[in-house]
Each structure stands twice: as C-alpha cells, then as structure tokens.
Amino acid sequence: MSVASHAGSKRLLHGEGAALGEVSPLAGKRGRWTGEQVSSCAQASRALPPSLKRSTILALAALFPSMSDQEIAAVLEEYGNDVDAAIKRLNELQLGGAREAAPSGTAPAFIPGDRPTPGQEQQGQGAGGLPSAPPSPTAHSAAEWVEEVVREMTAARSVEDARARAARVLEAFERGVILHAAKQDGASPTTRLRAQLQEAGRENALLKRAVAIQNARLQDGGAREAEAAALRAELDAARRRIQVLQVQNYSLQVHLQAAAGSPPDAAGGAFRNPDVF
C-alpha cells in the first residue's frame, strides 16, 4: 500500500512538473514583456525636453552654486533625469568637497542637505526651541549680497528658518547702508575741501568757456558794427558828393546860358533855386 501511494505521488509530482514546464515559458515571456514595457515607459517619462532640462539644470545650479553646470548635467544624466536622486547625489558630492577643503581642526561649514546630529540640534537650539542665529552676513557689493541671499535661502531647513535668515540678511543690508551713509557724512574736512575745490574747478572751467564764447560773439558783433558804420559813412559821403555835383552842374548850366546870350528865363522862365523847388 505504501509502495502504491509512493508511486502515485511520484506520478503526481511528475505531472505537476510537466504542467509547470508547459506554463513557465509563456509566463516568462509575459513577465519579460511587462518588464520591458515598464522600463521603456519609465525611460520615456524621464526623458525631458531640452528647455525643461535646461531649466532643471539652472534650478539645481541655484541650489548648488559651488557645482558647475557640466557636473550637474552629468549627475542628472547618470540618474536618468531623476531630480530627487540627482539632488541627493549633489548633496553628497558637495558635502564631500567641503569636508576635503576644510582644514584640519576646523568644523566644515553647513552644506544644504547636511543634517546636523541630534546633539548639534540641541546645542543649536536657543530659548523656545528655535535654532541659534548664524553670524550676520557682511557683503560689500551687489553680487556679494546676491550670493549671500542664495546661500542663506539654500541653507534654510524650513519656512520659519528661511524667514529668520531673510530678516537677518535685510538687517545686515540696512546696517551696511547706514554705515556707508555715515562714512559719507563723516568724511574728513580735507576730503570735503578737496571735493569742493574740484567742483569749483569744474564750475570755473565752465564759466571760462562761457566767457570765451561770449567774447567771441561780441568780437564778431563789433566787427559787423564797424563794417556797418563804415558803410554808413561812405553813404553820407556819396550823398554830399552828389549834392556838390548837382550845384556844379547848375552853375555850369547858368554859365553856359550866359555865354550863349540867352536870358535866364529863356530856358523855362524865371530863375529858380533847385534847393527850394
């Protein structure tokens, strides 16, 4: 009885193995097709247009200013345009670079994504459980202020931390403006006198130029006035000469009539003075 049952079980196992052997190729093909389809769909979903890829690289460059665009693009391509994985990898690279660049005996600066330990969090928390304020930024130019704002916003761990950091940056900027204005107001007397002398020199040069231009115009007007006066004198002389010539002409006419023996009124009546008529 046991032998028959053992033989029956062997036949049953052999039949099940044959059935599994017949079904497994189809199932394997179906599984391979499903896996290929999912991987192709995932690759298609992760393929980014050039404009979107460029904007993603720029956004990551703003988050990681110490990394170049080529490094960010390489990391993004390495992880198949997976932004989360690329950010995690960039955090690791930036943290490793900061630790290598930090000298011995000094603690590395805070890098975005580098979470402090619980002990550091407890030490960094002040009254009320809020994180302690880092030193105020001391920038001097517009580019430095931009870098300071980006660095503070990148290092923020939450919205409240970002607000506190923004307030500190604005306060530091206000103090810098006030200090610059105080320096300008509190300049030394020598500097103020030098500035006044420079301003007076510029005004003197402008006045000299204006006087030179006015003098040239006056000289030009004087020459024209002298020319006009000479023309008027010539005109008066010509009028007097015309009058003299008229008198001489009349005298010659009278003498001519007297020499011809005709009475003075023969040529047209009594004698008339041309100056009167």
Tens-digit pLDDT profile for residues 88-138: 888 888 777 655 554 444 444 444 444 444 444 444 444 344 444 444 555
Cβ neighbours of 90 (radius 10 Å) = 23
Kindly state whether residues 170 and 195 are assigned to the same domain: no
- Residues 15-54 as b or e (16 or more Cβ within 10 Å = b): eeeeeeeeeeeeeeeeeeeeeeeeeeeeeeeeeeeeeeee
DSSP type of residue 234: H
Would you state the pLDDT for residue 158?
87
pTM: predicted TM-score of the whole model, two decimal places: 0.24
Determine, yes or no, domain membership for 225: yes
Determine, yes or no, domain membership for 251: yes
Determine, yes or no, domain membership for 12: no
Whole-number Å distance between alpha carbons of 90 and 64: 8
Would you state the pLDDT for residue 244?
94
Determine, yes or no, domain membership for 14: no
Determine, yes or no, domain membership for 8: no
CB–CB of 135/115 below 8 Å? no
Last residue of a domain, one of 76, 103, 130: 103
Domain count of the fold of the chain? 3
Kindly state whether residues 182 and 193 are assigned to the same domain: no
Query: What is the extent of the structural domain holding 193?
Result: 189-260
